[in-house]
Chains A and B, each alone.
Chain A
Amino acid sequence: MTGSSKLSILAAALMLSTFGSTSLARAAPNEQFFPLATYRVGAYASSGIPVWAGMIDYLRYINEVEGGVNGVKFVWQECESEWTAEKGIECYERFKKGLDGAPVAIYHPNGAPAAYALSDKAAADRIPLITLGYGRTEATDGSVFPHNFPVMLTFYSEASVFINYVAQQEGGFDKLKGKKIATVYHDSAYGRETQGPLDLLAKKYGFENIQIPVADPGNEQSAQWRQVRQAKPDWVFLRTWGVSTPVAIKTAARFGFPANRIVGDIWASSNEDVLPAGDAGKGYLALTPYPGGAEFEIHKRIKQHILDKGKSDLKDPKSFGSVYYNSGLINAAIAVEAIRAGQKKFGNRPLTGDEGRWGLENLNVDDARLKQIGFHGLMQPLKLSCNDHEGGGAAKVQQWDGAKWNLVTDWVHADRKTLRPLIDAKSAAYAKEKGITPRDCSKES
């Protein structure tokens, strides 16, 4: 082959890939752009892949079965972030101006590093960030953080849900006095986030609060579980992430600590966390705002219209209804409902970031609405406001039986009233540091 013919082929391939990808992603004037900063490769790909499938399947369902949101269809495009801050920022910069005229109303950073890195940037660009189950807890205070939405369950709330669940099991809050509760946590900002609320709750209820850190990546934890064995706690709150979760469950078994006395947090509650642990995972408990299971109404609808027609983004159908798949469904549903709420004020058209933020702050997904959209039982009622960017504040507790998760409680609610002063103090400190004048939420509507 001559040099010139090689060049011709290369040019043709480049043209094909350029125009091909553009036409696939080209948006019509009445479309809403849904940016997807994904991680399909790298250390956390196994967690991410089912999440994107849940998001994409739901958007496809909305487009193809419901004809979009009041006629406005979604168009989406992916950007590989590898769960890193730097690539997460690159993706955001690429996406923030929309896609061929289709605007961005809501952005999912999909990862704690990117969420922290984008917090101020998104505020400057007036694009709201949804961080379900991660991100800054103090962003619950929307007067200081108008563009951050740690919806449904912050780390403070999950700590409170855990203590409330333990109290239920022990027979009441008065029985917590003198109990030993250990937290084995990923030694990072995420892992340390529950230390404040657990300190507060330990003082309130009189239990001993033991904190044992596990450094990243946490693939060897003998020292930590030997400390657990020595401390003889009544319960362990497992706040790990990635590989450190199955290793913790297996090491706990090796040191004779019963799995049914370990409660995993939101990031230690997926199928991917327990499958590698094998038999050691049987009986393991975990709290989650998006329980596993494919028996909910929305799954029947998606199975009928998307999965059975071969349109699902899932490569492995076994992941249908997995915890992470369901988290993708819920993440997408919150955005869709916020856009629907925003359209009531701004009209049935694609929304901008400011309008998307208004939609989120006026979101009210009650039981009746959850039944309509097929999420009843899978998702908790969610009502957000300027003053409360979390809403919800509840989780269900599920237990692994070696093959699947079984729900063992209904929604367990956090004691948000007790924790709120901590959140307000943190948000006030942030406002002072950054020179932010908090909004007057009584004037927001």
Chain B
Amino acid sequence: MIFFLETLIGGLLAGTMYSLVAIGFVLIFKASGVFNFAQGAMLLFSALTFVSLQEHGIPFLQSLLLTVVVIVIGAVAIERAVLRPLMNRSQITLFMATLGLSFILEGLAQGLMGAEVRALDLGIEDTPLMLGEVMVSQFDLVAASTAAVLVTVLALLFNKTHIGISLRAVADDTRAALSIGINLNRIWQIVWAVAGCAGLVAGLLWGARQGVQFSLSLVVLKALPVLIIGGFTSIGGAIVGGLIVGAAENLAEVYVGPSIGGGITPWFAYFLALVFLHVRPAGLFGERAIERV
């Protein structure tokens, strides 16, 4: 029973790391209906920028602030060079644009900052912590707390600020939002900047765990089943989806894996997502699309 509990809790905590990645997708999808394929590349670019600044002797906080500035500049540039010329095009066109953008960002990141692996020490202990007889990871606890803080900040941003209300208006009905004078271009710039910052948080935590390297851009593969389960338009859904994926894949690996050869975590998450697609196509918290036919 202790082992089961430990696996379950460990899985839930690991799932919050997936949620952190998924939140960036949700923000952009919610505001523009675009599935941003470049989210992984943005995560890599921002984490690489941060460690590169640190390598030049710039202290932690200043590096963080400068990285945020780079993200904001990047968001404005993306909106102007990629999104604005494609406004009113189909969603698949915008999706393909983000696909191209991901390759450009990955190439730029490696070209400008190098392809070598960088260590990232955030000063978070990654040693075991015993809660009674159950062992949990201190690092995962910090990651879970970070996710909670991020969700709270985003909830405040969306519900209590003028920008947030504008964002919600655009998400609910773009044309109506435009008709009352909301600047769509500015909203997209803000959304991409906020998604970039969410990507930075995820990139730093994943980078601290595995090193800052190209494969950081692949952690988005973990976010896709989370989004399918939680829904593409709900930040809360991203959190719940992450918890479900984390717990399910850990339990499956330990209890089902050995009987079918093991190594099942990557596809089990997608299997679970497929099951959810059959039961709740919009995900647990996603908005169901209703169209007049």
Residues of A within 8 A of B (CB): 40-46, 49, 187, 211-217, 219-220, 222-224, 226-227, 229-230, 242-243, 246-247, 250, 253-256, 272, 275-278, 280, 315-316, 319
6 closest residue pairs by CB, A with B: A276-B211, A187-B263, A213-B263, A223-B253, A45-B115, A215-B263
Of the A-B pairs whose beta carbons lie under 8 Å apart in the complex, a sample of 22, sorted by A's number, is A43-B215, A46-B115, A46-B116, A46-B213, A187-B262, A211-B262, A212-B262, A215-B265, A215-B266, A222-B10, A223-B7, A226-B3, A227-B254, A229-B135, A246-B117, A250-B126, A255-B128, A255-B135, A256-B127, A275-B118, A275-B211, A315-B114
Q: A213-B263, A215-B266, A254-B139 are in contact. Are A223 and B210 (CB under 8 A)?
A: no
* Smallest CB separation, A150 vs chain B (Å): 25
Mark interface residues in B131-146 (1 if CB within 8 Å of A CB, else 0). Answer: 0000101010000000
Complex Cα spacing A319 to B117, Å: 12
A316 to B114, CA, bound (A): 10
Distance in angstroms between the alpha carbons of A272 and B118 in the assembled complex: 8
- Given the known interface contacts A43-B214, A216-B266, A226-B6, the answer about A254 and B114 at a Cβ–Cβ threshold of 8 Å is no
Number of interface residues of B (CB under 8 A): 46
Residues of A with C-beta under 8 A to B127: 253-254, 256
Set of chain B residues within 8 Å of A275, measured between Cβ atoms? 117-119, 211
Contacts of A44 in B (CB 8 A): 214
A223–B126 Cα gap in the complex (Å)? Answer: 16
Known pairs A43-B218, A214-B263, A276-B210; list 16 more (Cβ under 8 Å). A46-B213, A49-B116, A212-B262, A220-B222, A222-B137, A223-B10, A226-B7, A227-B253, A243-B211, A250-B209, A254-B127, A255-B128, A275-B119, A275-B211, A276-B211, A316-B114
Identify B215's interface contact among A219, A223, A277, A278, CB under 8 A.
A219
Which residues from A are CB-within-8-Å of B263? 187, 213-215
Contacts of B128 in A (CB 8 A): 254-256
* 8 Å CB contact of A247 from B107, B209, B262: B209
Task: Find chain B residues with CB under 8 A from A49 CB.
Answer: 115-116
Tell me the minimal C-beta distance from A115 to chain B in angstroms. 22
Q: Is B126 within 8 A of A276, CB to CB?
A: no
Chain B nearest CB from A160 CB (Å) reads 24
The answer to whether A276 touches B250 (Cβ under 8 A) is no
Known: A253-B126, A254-B127. A45 touches B254 (CB 8 A): no
Residue of B10, B115, B212 with highest tally of chain A CB at under 10 A = B115
Mark B196-212 against chain A: 1 for CB-CB distance below 8 A, else 0: 00000000001001111
B249 close to chain A: CB less than 8 A: yes
Contact A219 B116 (CB under 8 A): no
**Residue B121, interface by CB 8 Å:** yes
**Per a CB cutoff under 8 Å, which of B11, B115, B264 touches A215?**
B264
**Does B261 interact with chain A (Cβ within 8 Å)?**
yes
Residues of A close to B17: CB separation below 8 A:
220
Question: Are A219 and B206 in contact, with the CB atoms below 8 A?
Answer: yes
Inter-chain CA distance A223–B258, complex, in Å, is 11
Shortest distance from the beta carbon of A254 to any chain B beta carbon, whole Å: 5
Chain B residue at minimal CB-CB distance from A247: B210
- Answer yes or no: B14 CB below 8 A from chain A CBs: yes
Chain A CB within 8 A of B33 CB: no
Whether the pair A219, B219 counts as a contact (CB closer than 8 A) is yes
Is the pair B265, A220 in contact by a Cβ cutoff of 8 Å? yes
Structural contact, A246 and B211, CB atoms closer than 8 A? yes
B281 within 8 A of partner (CB): no
Q: Check B236 for interface membership: any CB of A closer than 8 A.
A: no
Question: Chain B residues with Cβ under 8 A from A276's Cβ?
Answer: 117-120, 210-213
Tell yes or no: B110 within 8 A of A by CB: yes
CA distance A266 to B261 in the complex (A): 24
User: Nearest chain B CB to A278's CB is how many angstroms away?
Assistant: 6
> Inside 8 A of A45's CB, which chain B residues have their CB?
110, 115, 214
B257 at the interface (CB under 8 A from A): yes
Please tell me which one of the listed residues A41, A230, A254 contacts residue B115 in the complex, with CB atoms under 8 A apart: A41
**Residues on the B chain within 8 Å of A215, using CB:** 263-267
Q: Give bound CA distance, A220 to B248, whole Å.
A: 13
